[in-house]
Structure 1
Amino acid sequence: MNSSKVLKATLAPLSLAMLAAAPSAMAETEFKFGGYVKADFMVSNYDNGAPDDSNLSRQFYVPGTIYGDPNRANTVTDFQARETRFNFTSTSDMDGHTLKFFVELDFFTTSDGNERVSNSYAPRLRHATVTFDNWTAGQTWSTFQNPGALPEALDFVGAAEGTPFVRQGLIKYSNNGFSVAIENPKSTFTSTAGGRIESDSSYIPDLVARYDFKGGDASFSIAGLLRSLDIDETIGDTTYDESEMGYGLSFAGVVPVFNRDVLKFMLNYGDGTGRYIALNYANAAVLRDGGGADTISSISGFVSYQHWWSDKWRSNFTVSGFEADNPGILDGTTANETSYSGNVNLMFSPVKPLTVGVEWLYALNERANGDDGELNRFMLSFKYAI
């Protein structure tokens, strides 16, 4: 994804103690440093009034965060460099086994800075994994997600409604395009008033499998998710001891069209999928007042077309959508129900490491009670890949 400076070294000069402990494990190790610096300039119009500058929606588009504050102005301008990221990879060949370490940081989502003076924001952990041959353990993209199918966009996600988008702890085995993993369980429920309830009772890991395959020059993936939605807590006067099954399916593709043009798409369906889709726009299930739970089904997806005007100029056209089939008890509440967005951009790369781009994004979010929020955002970005 990013160009990297590569430093090669051998472990031969290490201490005699280490050599004595594992003499057969000494091998050539390759180190890579990567990432990019990205500066974003955004003008955003929220039809219900803009949220304050600490709101996540002011950093990038997150469905469910654009309903706004009617006490504030509609149009705001933000300058940021928070998407800037750095990563480090170490890959070793040890007696015919491949041992790999990867860690990556950026500066999104943290609230410890401000726009008044310094714009100082703490790094956050994106990825941290150890891979030994076919096994991976640590925090990284969920196996349910296909990051390679995401559209190119100046916005951080680009098709937020239409894609699984989860980084979390997992243990995964991969071989010949097939991957299976157990992943961190976390259940989110909706109250009958429409608010979110996070359960601390989940104990059965989520089970995820994905198969990546090719058809000519095109690449595809199909993924399945099976999860237990558990809650064993007292909320108000009601004690909940519920366990429901949730599942999800995702199909994605990257299809070369002609010359360098590419079509990308994704289609997702699930019942109780919850936080895995659309950045947790809808929850996995609704808790009934007297006890019990009903799962929430949803369908979502996106289509994106990338057109190259020349070797240095390109555009991406993307539409994305999500619709939840909320149980009837949520009618008239603030529960999220539908979300749509579209964006178009123009990108220029005068030299390979540098990209300058402009983008317009439009989004519409709707709640079960009929309330909605609209966002129009213009972005100008400068990106230098290491």
Structure 2
Amino acid sequence: MLMKNKVAQAVIIASLSSQGFALDLGEFNGTQFKIGGYLKAEGVFNNPDTSNSTFEGSASQSRLNVTTSRKEGDHNLTGFVEGDFRGDKDVFRLRHATITVDNLTVGQTWTGQFFANAPFDTEMINFYGTGIGTVSGNGAVVRPGLVAHYAKDGVRLTLQDPIYNEAHHPDMVAGYTHRTADGHAFNVAVTGRDVDLGNGDSEFGAALSLAAKLKFGDTSVSLSGFSGKGAAVYAGWGYNGSAGAATSEVDAQGDLITLTGFSAGVGHKLSDKLRMNLRYGQVTSDEVSSAVADDTLKLTTANIIYTYLPGLDIGVELRDQNIANRPASSDTTTRPAGQQVEVMAMYSF
């Protein structure tokens, strides 16, 4: 069968190499099938501020996805499932599993905070989070187990599995994106969630996020900023510092902290094959515990990426961060404060 032959070819290609193009597998029983993903090999040289240098290497970011789509009367029905090898001991894990009917998407996928920032950010090789300084900078909670998105005409309304297990309602995001004929894009979003106060009570916290990506020929400029309460767990920084899903929203007096962050970046296309990006982001808590020496998490990244062949990118990124802020793997280790140099090769299909 033609369908089986195309699946076999796609599997062979995926096994030999590494998002981008998606292979069209054809139609079967009225449903269109596509396969996509990438293979990525990376090596990171860590130069910590307070300990010895280390090196970490992996290909576990590699991922595979399948998209199905069909028309049912006046409705468009799409399914998407994707996994990578970032699970415990590099086992295959679920990243996304969604059902989309027209403008409504439900399943495990990106948060509303992600869509309020990531499409307007500067390109990074850094895998952890969608960018320090944004309301979605914490990669540990970027894909809740259940999300519902309604998106139409630039408006996106999101309900998602709450971080607080005893929350009275889902975590919520409402955003609007405006795009101009010149290629500029602007987003405004409001987030809200029920926050655990640690004493059996909860309090509603809300934050405002603004983001923009401006296009000037081969140069793009990205800007974002946010401020508010209840945002620490999604931003990856709080009263007790950055601690993944355990980031504290509450200070020593039992009050919600106010978090403020911003980011700025520039990307430039040097040629058809070569591009470079520079980005800075920081996020600040208005309260810190005595165990935290700094109330501000800062991260600077600079990279250059070369498209050696269509779909095959080779890149190097330099990073400097003032605080340990990201899981280095699926275990509990952290990427240390200091500098990192990452080299990578990624084949997208």
Task: Return the TM-score normalized by structure 1.
Answer: 0.74
What residue in structure 2 maps to residue 273 of structure 1? 231
What residue in structure 1 maps to residue 178 of structure 2? 213
Q: Counterpart amino acid of 1:276?
A: Y
Q: Counterpart amino acid of 2:161?
A: N
Secondary structure of 1:148's partner?
helix
Q: Counterpart amino acid of 1:205?
A: P
Q: Do 1:246 and 1:271's aligned partners in 2 also have CA atoms closer than 8 Å?
A: yes
Please state if 1:3 is matched with 2:21. Answer: yes
Q: Counterpart amino acid of 1:155?
A: N
Q: CA deviation at 1:157?
A: 4.1
Secondary structure of 1:201's partner?
coil
Please state if 1:125 is matched with 2:143. Answer: no
Q: CA deviation at 1:356?
A: 0.5
CA distance in 1, matches of 2:26, 2:109: 25
What residue in structure 2 maps to residue 237 of structure 1? none
What residue in structure 2 maps to residue 303 of structure 1? 264
| 1:106-160 deviation per Cα after TM superposition (whole angstroms, max 9, x unaligned) | 123x3x32xxxxxxx1122211111111111111111122331232222114763
Q: Share of identical aligned residues, percent?
A: 27
Q: Do 1:161 and 1:320's aligned partners in 2 also have CA atoms closer than 8 Å?
A: yes
Q: CA deviation at 1:241?
A: 2.1
What residue in structure 2 maps to residue 20 of structure 1? none
What residue in structure 2 maps to residue 167 of structure 1? 143
Q: Counterpart amino acid of 2:167?
A: S
Q: Which runs of 5+ in 2 are unaligned?
A: 1-18, 326-335
What residue in structure 2 maps to residue 60 of structure 1? none
Query: Is the alpha carbon distance of 1:95 and 1:10 closer, same or farther for their aligned partners in structure 2, counting shifts above 3 Å?
Result: farther
Q: Do 1:4 and 1:32's aligned partners in 2 also have CA atoms closer than 8 Å?
A: yes
What residue in structure 1 maps to residue 255 of structure 2? 294
CA distance in 2, matches of 1:375, 1:104: 33
Q: Do 1:226 and 1:248's aligned partners in 2 also have CA atoms closer than 8 Å?
A: yes
Max radius of gyration: which structure? Answer: 1
Q: Counterpart amino acid of 1:269?
A: S
| 1:184-209 deviation per Cα after TM superposition (whole angstroms, max 9, x unaligned) | 1113xxxxxxxxxxxx4224211211
Please point out which of 45, 48, 59 is paired with 1:81: 59
What residue in structure 1 maps to residue 189 of structure 2? 223
Give every structure 1 segment of 4 or more consecutive aligned residues whose post-TM-superposition deviation is greater than 4 Å.
none
Q: Counterpart amino acid of 1:308?
A: K
What residue in structure 1 maps to residue 38 of structure 2? 36
Secondary structure of 1:241's partner?
coil
Query: Is the alpha carbon distance of 1:336 and 1:34 closer, same or farther for their aligned partners in structure 2, counting shifts above 3 Å?
Result: farther
Q: Do 2:114 and 2:130's aligned partners in 1 also have CA atoms closer than 8 Å?
A: no
CA distance in 1, matches of 2:130, 2:157: 25
Q: Do 1:39 and 1:80's aligned partners in 2 also have CA atoms closer than 8 Å?
A: yes
Aligned length: 305
Q: Do 1:160 and 1:278's aligned partners in 2 also have CA atoms closer than 8 Å?
A: no
Please point out which of 132, 154, 160 is paired with 2:125: 154
Q: Do 1:41 and 1:79's aligned partners in 2 also have CA atoms closer than 8 Å?
A: yes
Q: CA deviation at 1:315?
A: 0.6
Secondary structure of 1:294's partner?
coil
Q: CA deviation at 1:246?
A: 0.5
What residue in structure 2 maps to residue 341 of structure 1? 299
Query: Is the alpha carbon distance of 1:93 and 1:249 closer, same or farther for their aligned partners in structure 2, counting shifts above 3 Å?
Result: same
What residue in structure 1 maps to residue 166 of structure 2? 201
Q: CA deviation at 1:266?
A: 1.6
Q: Which runs of 5+ in 1 are unaligned?
A: 12-27, 50-73, 114-120, 188-199, 234-239, 368-372
Task: Return the TM-score normalized by structure 2.
Answer: 0.81
Query: Is the alpha carbon distance of 1:174 and 1:158 closer, same or farther for their aligned partners in structure 2, counting shifts above 3 Å?
Result: closer
CA distance in 2, matches of 1:335, 1:295: 20
Q: CA deviation at 1:271?
A: 1.3
Please point out which of 117, 135, 142 is paired with 2:111: 142
Instruction: Name which of structure 1's ranges 158-167 and 221-230 shifts more when overlaid on structure 2.
Output: 158-167
Q: Do 1:342 and 1:361's aligned partners in 2 also have CA atoms closer than 8 Å?
A: yes
Q: Do 2:284 and 2:295's aligned partners in 1 also have CA atoms closer than 8 Å?
A: yes
Q: Do 2:324 and 2:337's aligned partners in 1 also have CA atoms closer than 8 Å?
A: no
CA distance in 2, matches of 1:92, 1:173: 19
Q: Do 1:143 and 1:181's aligned partners in 2 also have CA atoms closer than 8 Å?
A: yes
Q: CA deviation at 1:287?
A: 5.7
Please state if 1:314 is matched with 2:275. Answer: yes
Secondary structure of 1:276's partner?
helix
